[in-house]
Amino acid sequence: MAEVQGAEGHQASPKAQPDAKRQQLRNVRLLLILPFAATAVLLAPLGILRKSAEVDITLKVSRVSFKMGEQGSGLFRGLTTSALSLVSYQEVNLGLGILENATTIDPKSSTPSTWRQIGKRGETRIVSKDHFSSVTLQDVSINHLAIPPGSVATLSWLESEPNFLKLRVDGEGTAGTIVAGRQLLLSCSACAASGVSSDGDFGSKFLRFATDRRHVVSFRGRPEGITVAFELRPGMKLVEQNVSVDGDVDFTQLEGRHRVSTVISGEGKITFEELGSKEVKIAAGDFLVVKDVKDFFLKTLQVEDGISIVLHGRAGRVHSGPPGFVKDRLPTILEFLYASETWAQWALYLNAVILIGTTSLAILKRLKILREGE
């Protein structure tokens, strides 16, 4: 009887061996998946994390706001205007000459016809009486406009006034000089003039400043900032180059309680040269905000049917998209690796193959499927 039972036990062991082998193979397969899973876990963060990139941004907008950088703080040097208006100024020094006001106006042309001297010959200064004081100078050119680094500059343009460009500078210390002719026509509101026989307000009056030669007019902004409005001559193209930019560059503005885009053309784009000139299109009405910039420049600014600009530099964040779908457009680290030189791609693939191969061999030897000598 014992012999029969021993024989049955001996016959059962061969049946159990295939099941054990299949289980072992299943375990091996599962273990072989682990290197691939480990590789995926290793690469997944690289497909999420983003790094700063060199960008070129081409846009046409109605408004752009940026912080002035350390270099190229002068703007619009040599720009000739039909009229230049200063709002929120502190003082305008007209220089050495005679200030006059118009006594009669030609009814047909609405221009002054006769003038009367209202002050002695000498240095004349126009000073503001309140925050909203303004001075407008006719037919002048910008000699120099100095904006301190760190000041926030905002350029704006309106379709209803295509020949006007407004520059708002928030920050202390903005000043400039203007080249004027021998007879400078001007007007001002909420202002007063030094060295004149009348101490009244010159608002809504035509004024003329007469000198012996072309001269330079200087001005200073108020501590909280100044607004400079340029009236360009019809058909004139204003072009500005290589303005250093710091901080954020914002292509949005508040309208009531809502923030809206200032992009007015559907031909805008963001180009990433490090990724083989990869492009992200910017449509009219899309939001765009560039942050954490470094070595960033406004390469070209042109005013013609809007403000056309080209920006270049390194950015830490580039958010764009239609309202409600704004996202960061910077490439991921994995995109940078994939777009790098061929040798770098092969190095990545080779490292992955070595990792998978060595791990697989170690597992097979551990399970004694391979002998140590194999």
In a domain, 296, yes or no: yes
301 and 359 belong to one structural domain:
no
**Number of independent structural domains in the chain:** 2
Q: Of all residues in the chain, what percent carry a pLDDT higher than 70?
A: 74
| 207 in the same domain as 325 | yes
- pLDDT beyond 60 at 108: yes
Helix (H) or strand (E) holding 124: strand 122-128
Range(s) of the domain holding residue 353: 341-374
pLDDT > 60? residue 199:
no
Nearest to 298 by CA among 102, 21, 92, 57: 57
pLDDT tens by residue, 49-68: 777 889 999 999 999 999 98
- Token duo for residue 339: 């777009």
Three-class SS state of 72? coil
| Inside any domain, residue 1 | no
Give the containing element (helix H, strand E) for 61: strand 53-61
Give the up-direction half-sphere exposure of residue 92: CA atoms within 13 A in the CB hemisphere: 29
Residue 7 has pLDDT above 90, yes or no: no
Q: At what angle do helices 2-43 and 342-366 cross, to 10 degrees?
A: 160
The mean predicted confidence, pLDDT, of the chain is: 81
Same domain, 204 and 102: yes
Tokens matching residue 248: 């954020």
User: Sorting pLDDT into bands at 50, 70 and 90, what band is 47?
Assistant: low
Residue 318 falls within a domain, yes or no? yes
Question: What global pTM score does this model have?
Answer: 0.76
Task: List CB contacts of 293: < 8 A, sequence separation 6 or more.
Answer: 245, 246, 247, 248, 249, 313, 314, 315, 316
Tokens 């809007």 sit on residue? 306
Pair (69, 162) in one structural domain = yes
- Categorize the per-residue pLDDT at 109 as very low, low, confident or very high, splitting at 50, 70 and 90: confident
For 18, list phi and psi in degrees, rounded to 5.
Answer: -60, -40
Per cent of the chain over pLDDT 90 is: 35
CB atoms within 10 A of CB 333: 15
Q: What is the pLDDT of residues 225-247, one digit of tens each?
A: 999 999 998 877 788 888 888 88
CA distance readout (Å), 119 to 127, 216, 218, 256, 291: 15, 19, 20, 46, 52
* pLDDT for res 343: 47
111 and 227 share a domain?
A: yes
Is a pLDDT exceeding 70 seen at residue 357? no
The C-alpha angle with vertex 157 and arms to 151 and 161, in degrees rounded to 5, equals 140
Query: Both 252 and 372 in a single domain?
Result: no
Which pLDDT value is given to residue 212? Answer: 87
7: in domain: no
Residue 361 in domain: yes
3-class SS at 77? coil
Q: Identify the band that residue 374 occupies on the pLDDT scale cut at 50, 70 and 90.
A: very low
- Give the confidence band of 76 by pLDDT, cuts at 50, 70, 90: confident
Residues 89 and 132 sit within 8 Å (Cβ to Cβ): no
Residues 351 and 259 in one domain: no
Q: Select the highest-mean-pLDDT range: 3-7, 84-88, 235-239, 276-280.
A: 84-88
Output the six-digit token pair for 302: 């042109």
Q: Is 64 helix (H, G, I), strand (E, B) or coil?
A: strand
Residue 16 CB contacts under 8 Å (≥ 6 apart), including other chains: none
Give yes or no for residue 373 having a pLDDT over 50: no
Identify the three-state secondary structure at position 24. helix
324 occurs within a structural domain = yes
Q: Do 156 and 230 lie in a common domain?
A: yes
Evaluate if residue 371 carries a pLDDT over 70: no
Is 259 a member of any domain?
Answer: yes
351 φ, ψ (degrees, to nearest 5): -60, -40
E strand segments, 172-237: 175-180, 183-189, 191-193, 207-210, 215-221, 225-231
The pLDDT tens digits of the residues spanning 127-155 come to 988 888 899 999 999 999 989 988 999 99
Give the pLDDT score at 366: 61
281 DSSP β-pair partners: 269
Q: Tell me which DSSP letter residue 273 carries.
A: G
On whether both 241 and 366 belong to a single domain, the answer is no
What would the mean pLDDT of 83-108 be, rounded to a whole number? Answer: 90
Same domain, residue pair 283 and 372? no
Q: What's at 152, amino acid-wise?
A: V
Q: Is residue 135 situated within a structural domain?
A: yes
Q: Are both 271 and 363 inside the same structural domain? A: no
Same-domain pairing of 290 and 233: yes
Give the model's confidence band at 15: pLDDT under 50 very low, under 70 low, under 90 confident, else very high. low
What is the pLDDT, as a whole number, of residue 117?
A: 87
